[in-house]
Amino acid sequence: MTNNYRYIGKKIPRKDAKEIVTGKAAFFDDIKMPDMLIGKTLRSPYPHANIQSIDTRNAENLPGVKAVLTYKNIPPWTVGIPPHIPVLDRRLRYVGDAVALVAAETREIAEAAIELIEVEYEPLEAVYDLDEAIKPEAPQLYDFAPQNMVPDALPLGVEGFEDAPLHHIKIGNVEKGFQEADIICQGTCSYDGIPNPLPPEPPGIIVKWEGPEEAIVWSATQSPSWANILTSMFLNFTEIRSIATYCGGSYGSKNMLFNISLHAAALAKATNRPVKIYYTKAEHLNAFVLRPASRIHGKIGMKKDGTLTAIQGDWLMGYGANAPMGFMQLAVGCGEAQLALRCKNWDFKAKCVLTNRTPSGIVRGFGGQELKSSLMPILSIAMREADIDPLEFFKKNYVKDGDGYYWRDSKWHVCEGMDYRKAMEKGGEAFGWKEKWKGWLKPTTEKGTKKTGVGVSLHGNADVGEDRSEAYVRLMPSGEAVVQILVAEAGMGQRDSLCKMVAEVLQIPLEKVKMTPPDSLVNPVESGLVGSRGTYACGTAVIAAAQDARKQLLEKAAEKFNTAAENMDTADGMVFQKDKPEQAMPWFFITGPFQSFTGFGRFNTDFTKPNFMMIFTEVEVDVETGKIEILKVLAATDAGQIINPLALKGQIRGSLGSAGIDTAIMEESVIDPQNGHIMTSNMIDYKWRTFAELPEFDDVILESQFPTHQFKAIGLGEISTAPTPAAVLMAVSNAVGKQFFDYPLTPDKILRALGKIQGAESK
Partner 1 sequence: MTTSPLPDSQHQIRTIHLTVNGKNFPLEVGMAPHQIQPCHTLLQTIRETLGFTGTKEGCDEGACGACTVIMDGEPILSCMMLTIECDGKSITTIEGLQNPETGHLDPLQQSFIDHGAFQCGFCTPGIIMASKALIAEKSDIETKDIQEALSGHYCRCITHYQVVDAVVDVTKKVMRVSDDK
Interface residues with partner 1 (CB under 8 A) are 11, 13-14, 17-18, 20-27, 29-30, 62-64, 108-109, 112, 197-202, 246-251, 280-281, 489-493, 646-647, 649-651, 653-658, 682-684, 688, 690-692, 694, 697
Q: Which is nearer to partner 1, 489 or 548 (CB)?
A: 489
Q: Bridge-partner residues for 188, per DSSP?
A: 297
Q: Which is nearer to partner 1, 10 or 303 (CB)?
A: 10
In contact, 35 and 227? CB cutoff 8 Å: no
Q: Which is nearer to partner 1, 624 or 693 (CB)?
A: 693
Q: Which is nearer to partner 1, 611 or 651 (CB)?
A: 651
Other residues' Cβ atoms within 10 Å of the Cβ of residue 283: 19
Question: Using CA atoms, how far apart are residues 336 and 332, in angstroms rounded to an integer?
Answer: 6
Q: Which is nearer to partner 1, 23 or 402 (CB)?
A: 23
Q: How far is the CB of 493 from partner 1 (least distance, A)?
A: 7
Residue 331 region, left (φ>0) first, then alpha (ψ -120 to 50), else beta? alpha
In contact, 126 and 132? CB cutoff 8 Å: no
In contact, 69 and 127? CB cutoff 8 Å: no
The three-state secondary structure class of 2 is coil
Nearby residues of 249 by Cβ (< 8 Å), 6 or more positions away: 199, 200, 201, 490, 491, 658
Question: Using CA atoms, how far apart are residues 405 and 495, in angstroms rounded to an integer?
Answer: 32
Q: Which is nearer to partner 1, 409 or 489 (CB)?
A: 489
Question: Using CA atoms, how far apart are residues 396 and 425, in angstroms rounded to an integer?
Answer: 12
Q: What share of the chain is helix, strand, coil (3-state, %, to 5)?
A: 30, 25, 45
In contact, 430 and 636? CB cutoff 8 Å: yes
Q: In this structure, what DSSP letter does residue 665 have?
A: T
Q: How far is the CB of 627 from partner 1 (least distance, A)?
A: 18
Q: Which is nearer to partner 1, 160 or 200 (CB)?
A: 200
Q: Which is nearer to partner 1, 297 or 653 (CB)?
A: 653
Q: Which is nearer to partner 1, 23 or 136 (CB)?
A: 23
Q: How far is the CB of 484 from partner 1 (least distance, A)?
A: 23
Q: In this structure, what DSSP letter does residue 213 have?
A: T
Q: How far is the CB of 656 from partner 1 (least distance, A)?
A: 5
Q: How far is the CB of 488 from partner 1 (least distance, A)?
A: 11
Q: Which is nearer to partner 1, 250 or 532 (CB)?
A: 250
CA geometry: angle 48, 350, 230, nearest 5 deg: 65
Amino acid at 486: L
Q: How far is the CB of 520 from partner 1 (least distance, A)?
A: 21
- Cis status of the peptide bond prior to 744, with omega within 30 of 0: yes
Q: How far is the CB of 657 from partner 1 (least distance, A)?
A: 4
| Sign, Cα dihedral of 649, 650, 652, 653 | positive
Question: Using CA atoms, how far apart are residues 140 and 124, in angstroms rounded to an integer?
Answer: 10
Amino acid at 366: F
Q: How far is the CB of 595 from partner 1 (least distance, A)?
A: 36
Q: How far is the CB of 36 from partner 1 (least distance, A)?
A: 13
The radius of gyration of the chain from alpha carbons, rounded to an integer in Å, stands at: 27
Q: How far is the CB of 498 from partner 1 (least distance, A)?
A: 16
Q: How far is the CB of 19 from partner 1 (least distance, A)?
A: 8
Mutual orientation of helices 368-386 and 328-340 as an angle, nearest 10°?
Answer: 30
The closest alpha carbon to 156, from 375, 328, 338, 292, belongs to 328
Q: Which is nearer to partner 1, 430 or 683 (CB)?
A: 683
Question: Using CA atoms, how far apart are residues 678 and 672, in angstroms rounded to an integer?
Answer: 6
Q: How far is the CB of 196 from partner 1 (least distance, A)?
A: 10
